[in-house]
Structure 1
Amino acid sequence: MKYKQIDRNLFIKNRKKFTAAMSANSIAVFNSNDIYPVSADSTLPFAQHRDIFYLSGVDQEESILVLFPDAPFEHQREILFLTETNDHIAVWEGAKLTQEQAFEVSGVKTVYWIQDFQKILKELMAYADTIYINTNEHYRSAVETQTREDRFIKWWKETYPAHRVAKSNPILQKIRSIKEPEEIALIQHACDITEKGFRRILPFVKPGVWEYEIEAELIHEFIRNRSKGFAYTPIIASGNNSNVLHYIENNQKCLAGDIILFDTAAEYANYSSDLSRTIPVNGKYSSRQRQVYDAVLRVKNEATKMLVPGTLWRDYHTEVGKIMTSELLDLGLLDRADIKNEDPAWPAYKKYFMHGTSHHMGLDTHDYGLLHLPMEANMVFTVEPGIYIPEEGFGVRIEDNVVIQPKGEPINLMKNIPILAEEIEDLMN
């Protein structure tokens, strides 16, 4: 890993929160992700399952965490299972965690090799009534590939049909959405790396540069600051590409008079940042581009003020829609008849602003969080309104990451990243 080792006390706290919510006499099992094949002997870079990382800090493949807080013996209450490292693996792949190193990373005292997992689990299941399985229930998930977790669940149900089944995900959705101070510091670090990348490309962008050249500048800056790279597939969308919400080809030349919509950000230690900015290719917004840019910025600033404890997700988006409607009227994109005749299920403003304003952020870019519950202090959200005008050939999105505070407005983790049009123009010129 490129990142500096995280204090294991974070993971100790996270496990305590999870086990406090478990039912009596129950076991929870968490699996690492697979290494996914491409073809021949090629594989994708390994990315750890965020749940086992959140609870242990272990960031390698073929790892399993077992939590059994009511186990009869103390050494059975937290157990890590890891691939056994040896000299051969150290030469060909690099050394894996030793049992001693695993304790230093996680704070878990009992560490076995993974080949002993089924034997030890059999003993534990004799004491337990219930197992917590870790299904993916994120509201945006659309997974077709069978995961290591899926295979484990299938095997477990066939092997232990007499035990009750519970779900880990509702607990994780709750506790992962409220960040510990250490987590906020890691997200801030990811945001700071993102700032370095954005400041790097502002003087670099000129008419004739290609979108992928800008992408290369960003990844250079991210990696040289200990990031693995982009927190998500980068969007560098010039001209009319900026009206495509998830444009990722990044293969067009940037032309004078156009703007570039960036949705690009760094990760750090598996924690995400999530930035959007929209800049002029030639270093100067046209009057219309500036008009739309400032409207989006006003919506973002007003929306941010509403991210306070007690706010309900649905009500928040309704209020943001009212603010956006007012701006679209002023821009001449909507008229009063559009508002009067709108479909309440798809308000008129959705023609130009069709996505949500905010989502939870953390270990996942679209992080865990139960949307029917009121917002709470130390939740981290994006704020990302946009206006997309295909008929005018450009779209604008502006996005920051904020932490809800116990009282008052949230703290903006991206407050140092240029956002005012004048500042962006000055830095580009």
Structure 2
Amino acid sequence: MKPNSLAVFNSNDVYPIGADSTIPFQQDRNLYYLSGVDQEESILVLFPDAVKPEHREILFLRETNEHIAVWEGEKLTKEKAFEVSGVKTVYWLDDFQKIFYELMAQAEMVYVNTNEHYRANVETETREARFNKWLKESYPAHAVAKSNPILQRLRSVKDSLEIETIQQACAITEKGFKRVLGFVKPGVWEFEIEAEFMHEFLRNRSRGFAYTPIVASGQNANVLHYIENKAQCKEGELILLDIGAEYANYASDMSRTIPVSGRFTKRQKEVYNKILSIKDEATKMLVPGTLWAEYHKEVGKLATAAFLDLGLLDKADVQNENPDWPAYKKYFMHGTSHHMGLDTHDYGLLHEPMQANMVFTVEPGVYIPEEGFGIRLEDDVVVQEKGEPFNLMRNIPILADEIEDLMNA
């Protein structure tokens, strides 16, 4: 932050559905990252150059009382908020405007919290957006800056405790997957498989899925964001699973492809092993200094060679390809890796080189409608200072033979 500036972070809204129903609360990731506070109607103010030392970090919380405790559950007291966050100065929300006015008289610049993730598509006016509008109207003489670039850099490099938490999320996902391997057989429904995962996640202290789960059998796997999960799984089909457990607000993100009948056909296994080979080779490239865009070009070369071997492409397809949309994209049209952490598609500036302790997915795939199946394999890995990345999903079965053995045990 520049000298004599402060930064403000607001909780997310509790979003209404209709009548008195609401969507379960999810905290603003930046506020949670900076404070550990997982409660609605909270504000964090950071002001390193505040005149009063106690005003360099401030939490504003909704005042709790016995009535709220009975109807909604226990909320943070000032003492408990300090235990959770390490922030010593805690005021009730009713005092915000008075205290903030005092702080703004000392500050020259305000950092506002905005969502600038490359995949963000926000149509709803958020609590933060309403606050930022009020701020600019109430304090028009102050300079305004974005905290987002700072947060993107901070959040993309994980602390050891964050890596442990993501590892726990991956371990819960592993339990769900192994449960499903013993459950799947011809005739089961996609939603039954989803339910098996959910059962295992909840009983292991996850709140559930880190993102909307994909259970895509047969041709459904060729729809990249298939989330209906409503078809019956038939003998001879493959099921593409893209599922991850949440744990303590951190995500995991796994893709596996399994045979409904417990055995891959010769062709299915041939294609499967090619995708696994691409994943293994792509993983080795996730090292400090790698540029995300260049990495994807190299993975494209791996995919091109694999698809030539599989007979999906011929030399003429490659020779005549459009450089902006290479031939392999006909069968593998999405990216191979994204940052992961508090969000499944986490913060990280993709134009900057990779650093140690960043967490990425590795998820090559192939989608072949004419053959009736799609395959995607995905692990979550930590970039290391030296050597190959550390695979947080190393214990989740991925070899075709191992999956067959477990499904037929």
CA offsets 1:2-31 (integer angstroms, 9 cap, x no match):
xxxxxxxxxxxxxxxxxxxx1000010000
Shift of 1:314: 1.0
Residue equivalent to 1:213: 192
Distance in structure 2 (CA, Å) of the matches to 1:397 and 1:139:
23
Distance in structure 2 (CA, Å) of the matches to 1:117 and 1:222:
39
**TM-score normalised according to structure 1 size:** 0.95
Residue equivalent to 2:311: 332
Residue equivalent to 1:83: 62
Residue equivalent to 2:42: 63
Distance in structure 2 (CA, Å) of the matches to 1:179 and 1:68:
24
Distance in structure 1 (CA, Å) of the matches to 2:110 and 2:339:
28
Confirm or deny that 1:241 pairs with 2:210. no
Find 2:294's aligned residue among 299, 302, 315: 315
Shift of 1:427: 0.5
Amino acid at match of 1:424: I
Residue equivalent to 2:132: 153
Confirm or deny that 1:384 pairs with 2:363. yes
Residue equivalent to 2:335: 356
Distance in structure 2 (CA, Å) of the matches to 1:265 and 1:281:
20
Shift of 1:95: 1.0
Where 1:267 maps in the other structure, the secondary structure is coil
Distance in structure 2 (CA, Å) of the matches to 1:209 and 1:286:
19
Residue equivalent to 1:300: 279
**Count of residue pairs brought into register by the alignment:** 408
Distance in structure 1 (CA, Å) of the matches to 2:76 and 2:190:
40
In the alignment, structure 1 segments of 5+ residues that lack a partner are: 1-21
Shift of 1:370: 0.5
Amino acid at match of 2:230: N
Shift of 1:257: 0.3
CA offsets 1:92-145 (integer angstroms, 9 cap, x no match):
110101110000000000011111111110010000000000111110000000
Residue equivalent to 1:164: 143
Confirm or deny that 1:191 pairs with 2:170. yes
Amino acid at match of 2:107: A
Residue equivalent to 1:409: 388
Residue equivalent to 2:261: 282
Identity, % of aligned positions: 73
Shift of 1:369: 0.5
Amino acid at match of 2:132: I
Distance in structure 2 (CA, Å) of the matches to 1:26 and 1:224:
45
**TM-score normalised according to structure 2 size:** 0.99
Confirm or deny that 1:116 pairs with 2:95. yes
Residue equivalent to 1:222: 201
Distance in structure 2 (CA, Å) of the matches to 1:223 and 1:101:
26
Q: 1:119-138, aligned counterparts within 5 Å?
A: 119-138=98-117
In the alignment, structure 2 segments of 5+ residues that lack a partner are: none
CA offsets 1:62-106 (integer angstroms, 9 cap, x no match):
000000000011110000011111110111110101110000000
Find 2:5's aligned residue among 21, 26, 32: 26
Confirm or deny that 1:72 pairs with 2:61. no
Residue equivalent to 2:353: 374
CA offsets 1:23-63 (integer angstroms, 9 cap, x no match):
00001000000000101111000001100000000001000
Shift of 1:357: 0.2
Moved over 2 A (4+): none
Where 1:272 maps in the other structure, the secondary structure is coil
Find 2:156's aligned residue among 165, 169, 177: 177
Distance in structure 2 (CA, Å) of the matches to 1:54 and 1:283:
42
Distance in structure 1 (CA, Å) of the matches to 2:180 and 2:263:
15
Amino acid at match of 2:45: V
Where 1:271 maps in the other structure, the secondary structure is coil
